[in-house]
């Protein structure tokens, strides 16, 4: 049965919910002033986009199963062999629609300065006129889905809710994994809860009798955020981050604006609980750019006996100062949307075990037995595969079988080391915050900030090699402050200032300690100096002992460093020469780096907070003294 047959067409001239088949629930019968406003908005979008059908998503299992069956019949999904991967599917996107379209992502703030130089600004009035034009009739021939969702537990004190309108069943199924979807959210709206409006269309209307394609999209793409009205409009792309608007668009860009106004932080951070051999729990949040090991750390299996890690979240954390002077965090998502390549038994066995079933894969390779494969899943690729574009593939072809940014979407609850209270509404109190990127030189394995302001300075200067998760040249060094460059919904200099102001709300003895880490430093011969993966727990071990005040640190011009003898290296061999190089600070190279920092700060035209310029001046002073 195709998707077009699942829903009954409305009567001529109608735009409201029509009587559905037995597989689907009727239009919600929930009443309240909030529902009236929601229905008016939905009807207005329908008048503009002219869908053939409207379906209010209730989040039920039967609804999801029917949706998946319809996508298989329409060719959007390939059902994987249930013997190997039960309840799982493969999607192949259009080759032009494989990553976040950062060049077409806009912040339409009333004042251009509020978007800042790191965002693409658009005049909101002009952009609304443009969007109205391209959305006119954009859903013709398709079903318009109304998806109520919650980021965080429904009704939780740190949670926020939204509604996405979309004509993509792939987006609906993905939102159902990544958020809490259902009528409970509508009840919150009905009683007056604030909600964020998000609208998405693949931009591929169908004429009467026109056959659809497996992955509809449009060469013209827009992802537009309106921070003053808390809206997101996305057009032309069906790819995850551009279509699952609850994720980067809402949970980071819009939520960062809400957090600025309400006094909290929306961050591109993993969240874990680290449990010592003595059974004491510590909570760590960490910010890394995409494809730089964030999922691996979120699902870390320590190589040090006695240590355990429980996963709380792998990508986004919302941080709020508590009345107790601590910083509390939740993972607002309900699933993982991870990069597949590089995820394997030798790098992240937890992630592999999480993907046993009930997973939507996008742009990975297909095995002859109906299972999936990607580079890094196993050391040796299968002899024959169907690549991510549907073409025959063998290892001799010398090209990847899976797209470098291929993805998996899976419920967080399937993770074998998920924390029992991972979705607790009140969240967890943070003990440490880590910032990191992919740097072959300069940045030591781990540096401790001297205080909160110095930690904000470190976060503001994170840089990393560009990855396949974003448009641009792979390998090019890009600045990515706080790993938020593509995701901050307002002027990033003001964002730095907001971090400083949040720190002022915390008790100095209860604020999380801030560290910078770099698993990727290389030696002169080009090899990685640190083994990484499970051995990163050895750095976490030192960080926790610093939090406890159990070990001293060595002052350096760039921050506090470990004594190499204080690193737990039992069971691994890291030569002393490599350890020395991992923590080497070259004053001349770092002085050059400070010039790049000043150049970066200057792009904000005087809005970078004075305390960060003071930190820059102090760093230069210490480096010059170290130079002699």
Pairing of the two strands 365-367 and 432-436: unpaired
Residues contacting 397, CB < 8 A, separation 6+? none
- 238: DSSP letter: -
Three-state SS string across 434-502, please? EEECCCCCCCCCEEECCCHHHHHHHHHCCEEECCCCECCCCCCEEECHHHCCCCCCCCHHHHHHHHHHH
Identify the burial level of 87 via C-beta atoms within 10 angstroms of its C-beta, where 0-12 means exposed, 13-18 middle and 19 or more buried: middle
Is 292 an annotated catalytic residue?
yes
* Ramachandran sector of residue 152 (left: φ over 0; alpha: ψ -120 to 50; beta: rest): left
C-alpha angle 109-114-119 in degrees, rounded to nearest 5: 80
Give the SS3 label for residue 20: coil
In total, the chain counts a number of residues equal to 628
Residues contacting 197, CB < 8 A, separation 6+? 41, 162, 163, 229, 230, 231, 232
Q: Largest Cα–Cα distance of the chain, in whole Å?
A: 83
In 50-107, alpha helices (H): 61-74
Residue of 217, 292, 415, 488 marked active site = 292
Contacts by residues 125-128 (CB-CB < 8 Å, ≥ 24 positions apart)? 127/224
- What distances in angstroms separate CA 490 from CA 117, 201, 254, 396, 586, one per listed residue? 10, 25, 9, 47, 35
Residue 12's CB is within 10 A of a number of other CB atoms, namely 5
* Ramachandran sector of residue 7 (left: φ over 0; alpha: ψ -120 to 50; beta: rest): beta
Which candidate, 61, 321, 326, places its Cα nearest to that of 173? 61
- Written as one string, the DSSP assignment of 385-404 is EE-TTS-EE-GGG-S-SS-T
11 φ, ψ to 5°? -65, 160
- What distances in angstroms separate CA 183 from CA 31, 63, 167, one per listed residue? 12, 13, 20
Structure-token pair, residue 470: 């974003």
- Written as one string, the DSSP assignment of 255-276 is HHHHHHHHT-EEESEEEEEEE-
Residues contacting 444, CB < 8 A, separation 6+? 518, 521, 556, 558, 561, 582, 583, 584, 585
Which candidate, 42, 46, 2, places its Cα nearest to that of 21? 2
Cα(379)–Cα(217) distance, rounded to whole angstroms? 35
On whether the CB atoms of residues 258 and 250 are closer than 8 A, the answer is no
Cα(20)–Cα(8) distance, rounded to whole angstroms? 6
Cα(26)–Cα(20) distance, rounded to whole angstroms? 6
Catalytic residue annotation: 292
């Amino acid at each position: 049965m195709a998707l077009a047959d699942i829903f009954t067409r409305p009567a001529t001239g109608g735009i409201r919910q029509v009587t559905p088949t037995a597989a689907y629930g009727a239009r919600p019968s929930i009443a309240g002033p909030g529902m009236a406003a929601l229905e008016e908005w939905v009807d207005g979008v329908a008048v503009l986009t002219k869908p053939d059908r409207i379906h209010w998503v209730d989040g039920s299992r039967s609804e999801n199963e029917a949706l998946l069956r319809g996508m298989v019949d329409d060719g959007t999904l390939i059902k994987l062999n249930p013997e190997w991967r039960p309840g799982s599917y493969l999607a192949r996107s259009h080759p032009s629609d494989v990553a976040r379209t950062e060049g077409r992502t806009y912040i339409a703030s009333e004042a251009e300065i509020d978007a800042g130089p790191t965002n693409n600004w658009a005049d909101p009035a002009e952009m609304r006129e443009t969007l109205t034009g391209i959305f006119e009739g954009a859903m013709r021939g398709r079903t318009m889905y109304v998806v109520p969702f919650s980021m965080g537990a429904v009704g939780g004190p740190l949670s926020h809710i939204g509604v996405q309108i979309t004509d993509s069943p792939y987006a609906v199924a993905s939102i159902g994994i990544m958020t809490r979807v259902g009528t409970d959210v509508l009840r919150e709206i009905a009683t007056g809860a604030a909600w964020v409006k998000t609208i998405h269309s693949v931009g591929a209307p169908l004429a009467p009798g026109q056959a659809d394609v497996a992955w509809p999209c449009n060469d013209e793409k827009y992802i537009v955020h309106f921070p003053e009205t808390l809206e997101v409009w996305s057009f032309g792309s069906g790819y995850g981050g551009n279509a699952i608007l609850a994720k980067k668009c809402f949970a980071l860009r819009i939520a960062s604006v809400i957090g600025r106004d309400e006094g909290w932080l929306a961050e591109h951070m993993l969240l874990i609980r680290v449990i010592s051999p003595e059974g004491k729990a510590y909570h760590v949040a960490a910010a890394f750019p995409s494809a730089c090991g964030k999922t691996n750390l979120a699902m870390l299996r320590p190589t040090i006996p006695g240590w355990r890690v429980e996963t709380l979240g792998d990508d986004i954390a919302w941080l709020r100062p508590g009345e107790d002077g601590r910083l509390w965090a939740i993972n607002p998502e309900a699933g993982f949307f991870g990069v597949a390549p590089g995820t394997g038994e030798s790098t992240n066995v937890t992630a592999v075990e999480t993907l046993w079933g009930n997973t939507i894969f996008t742009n990975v390779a297909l095995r002859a037995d109906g299972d999936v494969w990607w580079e890094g899943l196993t050391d040796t690729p299968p002899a024959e595969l169907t690549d991510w574009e549907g073409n025959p593939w063998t290892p001799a072809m010398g090209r990847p079988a899976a797209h470098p940014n291929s993805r998996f979407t899976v419920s967080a609850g399937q993770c074998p080391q998920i924390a029992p209270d991972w979705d607790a509404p009140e969240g967890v109190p943070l003990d440490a915050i880590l910032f990191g990127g992919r740097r072959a030189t300069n940045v030591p394995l781990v540096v401790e900030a001297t205080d909160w302001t110095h930690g904000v300075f470190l976060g503001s200067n994170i840089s990393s090699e560009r990855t396949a998760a974003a448009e641009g040249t792979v390998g090019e060094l890009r600045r990515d402050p706080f790993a938020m460059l593509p995701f901050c919904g307002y002027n990033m200099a003001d964002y730095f200032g907001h971090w400083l102001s949040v720190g002022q709300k915390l008790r100095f003895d209860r604020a999380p300690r801030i560290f910078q880490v770099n698993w990727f430093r290389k030696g002169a011969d080009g090899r990685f100096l640190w083994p990484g993966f499970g051995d990163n727990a050895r750095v976490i071990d030192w960080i926790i002992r610093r939090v406890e005040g159990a070990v001293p640190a060595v002052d350096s011009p760039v921050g506090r460093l470990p004594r190499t003898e204080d690193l737990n290296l039992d069971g691994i061999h890291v030569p002393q020469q490599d350890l020395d190089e991992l923590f080497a600070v070259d004053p001349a190279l770092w002085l050059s780096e400070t010039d790049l920092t000043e150049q970066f700060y200057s792009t904000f035209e005087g809005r970078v907070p004075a305390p960060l310029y003071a930190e820059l001046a102090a760093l230069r002073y210490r480096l010059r003294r170290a130079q002699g």
